[in-house]
Structure 1
Amino acid sequence: MSKLDGNERWKSKMLLTEHAEQYDQKQAASAVKHLTTEERVMIRDYILLPHMEKMIQKSISDVESSSNVLKRLYLAAGHKILISVAEDYYRLRGELKKRNIRVITEEQEDMVIYHKCYYRGYEERFGMTRDVMRSEISVRLTKYTAELVARLKAKG
């Protein structure tokens, strides 16, 4: 709250349209400089999907070596989820490329994995802790599993 709030004299002051336009242009230019929330989510997913792919692949290989009676069912479900993850990854990679956003793994400090993001001539450091990655992967895997179950129910 500024000193001018509540001061009735300032309510009658007018703003020139050219000043308003300059202000709007300045705001629009500064908005382009930063990543949008949607782009941040895309970058997060772009980082997480390869980890999910490895986890699913490891799970599939574990099931292949087991003697479970429902082995074929688990393998089929695992392969379907793996295909969905791969499709999402390639779609996301194309969208980031279209927006001219590059993500490069930088380093790992303590429990945080950092990535460099290059976009629109700017550079930003993007970090995620292992716990956040685990929880996000768990949420995403649950979503993929629910989608597979919904597709099976729709066919059955």
Structure 2
Amino acid sequence: MSKLDENERWKSKMLLTEHVEQYEQQHLPHPGKIITAEERTMLRDCILLPYMETMVQKSIAEIEYSTHILKRLYLAAGQYILEQIMKDLYRLRRELKQRNIRILTEEQSDLVVYHYFYCRGYKERFGMTRDVMKAEISIRLTRYIAEAGELLKKGST
């Protein structure tokens, strides 16, 4: 911000349109620096996938110590789902890095979990309620389980 921005006398002065355009180009955020809807979705998924990974790892650990008859099947399915989650997480992190987006820290306030991130030089905050996180995780896990079920069906025929 320059000294002229605060000075009220300069607001009444006439400016040439090219000067106004130059000023706006220098001081307004560029469209390329603002995060897009697609990038927000990628950011959300990149935040949720580590939670999902932890959940699946805990389930696998519980199954390993169980005496269930289908223990090997459940372990194989759990390992497959865990591999898919890790592949997706790796792909998302690589894509966000290419787009110059970094996730920084997590902060919890009441029922909302906030994540700070840098998007092409701008620091922003992304928040999700715990209910939204649970619903999104449930939807994503259902997709992974359905995919594993399809592979199982193909293998049996």
Take 1:62 and 1:110, find their aligned partners in 2: how far apart are those partners? Answer: 31
Take 1:119 and 1:132, find their aligned partners in 2: how far apart are those partners? Answer: 23
CA RMSD of aligned residues (A): 2.0
- Name the residue aligned to 1:11: none
Of the structure 1 ranges 47-56 and 102-111, higher mean CA displacement relative to structure 2 is found in 102-111
- Pairs within 5 Å for 1:7-156: 30-156=30-156
Gaps of 5+ in 2: 1-17
Instruction: Give CA-to-partner distance per residue, 1:28-54, whole Å, 9 cap, x none.
Output: x74323211110000000000000000
- Counterpart of 1:143, as a letter, is R
Take 1:113 and 1:138, find their aligned partners in 2: how far apart are those partners? Answer: 17
- Name the residue aligned to 2:15: none
Take 1:70 and 1:83, find their aligned partners in 2: how far apart are those partners? Answer: 20
Take 1:135 and 1:128, find their aligned partners in 2: how far apart are those partners? Answer: 11
Take 1:105 and 1:128, find their aligned partners in 2: how far apart are those partners? Answer: 14
Identity across matched positions, percent = 59
Secondary structure of 1:84's aligned partner: helix
- Counterpart of 1:118, as a letter, is Y
Deviation, 1:117, is 1.3
- Name the residue aligned to 1:13: none
Secondary structure of 2:67's aligned partner: coil
Deviation, 1:131, is 0.8
Take 2:61 and 2:151, find their aligned partners in 1: how far apart are those partners? Answer: 24
Secondary structure of 1:35's aligned partner: coil
TM-score, normalized by length of structure 1? 0.79
Secondary structure of 1:92's aligned partner: helix
Secondary structure of 1:66's aligned partner: coil
Secondary structure of 1:67's aligned partner: coil
Count of residue correspondences: 133
Take 2:154 and 2:69, find their aligned partners in 1: how far apart are those partners? Answer: 25
Deviation, 1:108, is 0.7
